[in-house]
Structure 1
Amino acid sequence: MNKPAAAFCRLKQKPANLPGLFAVFKAALGREWRMQVRRRGDLVNPLVFFALVVVLFPLGISPTEDILAPVAPGVLWVAALLATLMSLDALFRPDLLDGSLEQQLVTGYPLAPLALAKLGVHWLLSSLPLILLSPFLGIMLYLPWEAQGVMMLALLLGSLALSLVGAIGAALTAGVGKSGVLMTLLVLPFYIPVLIFGTGAMQAAISGGSAMAHLSLLGALAALAITLAPWAIAAGLKIAVSGE
């Protein structure tokens, strides 16, 4: 092998002192945790929005149980869906503006695990509090106690799918200013199955039936999103960086 070719091969080889992917994943988790905690407003606003929608809904129609109880699953799920969209609007834009995404591309590590780390922290700090708050709001809508556990489990599975699918839209529109409406138009059609199965699970629990079929479908959607969405997010981020 001639000297130029040998030098090129050495450049293509991974340096021995470069940290492994797992170490980089752990570092990304720590970094994202610190960054998300600093931006408390971005985490609190969707939670406040979720609570306000549910609290104001009885004032807009009627506070009676006969009217609120049948529509409680739909109200809770629509509010959770919109709150998730609100939290994902500027998920990747700060990293694009400060050059972090370009640096991650330069390192040569795959973007998919790094995006998954970011989404994991985001879900813990935004969607998990929403799930924990939902039983108290369900009481306001006269949601039966036997449906509370199903609601929390359905929101747990559904919020994973909503966050991952929504993050694809956030990645594709990261380089677009005021992209909230565009992102909503991109991801809203894919949110409809989650909305249908989530409300169906709660309605089945309220009527005394089995919600296992709906929960299984939500779990399948969440598993599919966890498997495929990080790679789609990585592709969207590369497009956003190249088009900046």
Structure 2
Amino acid sequence: MSDPTPLDAGVVSGLTRPPEAKVRASRLLATLGAAGAVAGLLIVLVFGVTQPTIEANKARRLQAAIHEVLKAPDRYDTLYVVGGTLVASLAPGSDVRKVQRVFVGYRGDRRVGFAIMAGEPGFQDVIGLIFGYDPSTKQILGMKVLETKETPGLGDKVEKDPFVSQFVGAQTPLVGVKAKDPTGKDRRQIQMVTGATISSRTVIRSINNALVRVGPLLETYRADGAGDDRPRPGQTPAARERGVRG
């Protein structure tokens, strides 16, 4: 009985692959790699084209929100929280995205209040908001939710009336309650949304915590800064117009 015929080169065995299969695999990998590179390039190009538009739209929405929570001021200035104080400009090379901003509004020469951005995790994701604040009375001037992914029909009610309208004239620190005092004497109370108490508490907590952080800075800036309508000792009329001490 003769020995089995040896396998010829190029014949498929359990341990070898024909050259044609190797070529096909290489071509497939090259095609996939090229497609991935093209897709990545397209994503970068689309991002580069659309990002300026996205940022411009965000800036417009923020500007509208500032005017809303400060009750349509004539103008507003941007301040930055740096080193435990409020400054009107940043050092060259600073990343504005990493610095907390505060907006101070004016009506004529009179300062009407500050708009402060805040945000903390809610039920689904971070709830971002902005609120107006008058440090002389410690009252909220208005509140607007800028960003939320809370449950439609429940959690998203924190960006609508009647929840939002409660903040106008509310005294700080805010207190979340299930039912307001019917006498209305406690101006700190904010009635939470039924079925969305987590989202409601997040909004209230965000405002209170933001004021803990920047409230003292606003008081200091109000005492020293431009736009204060109250005369200060030693301040000349001309200096008062400029908002500085004489």
Is the TM-score greater than 0.5?
A: no
Bigger fraction of residues in strand? 2
TM-score, with structure 2 as normaliser: 0.28
Which structure has more RCO (C-alpha within 8 Å, separation ≥ 6)? Answer: 1
TM-score, with structure 1 as normaliser: 0.28
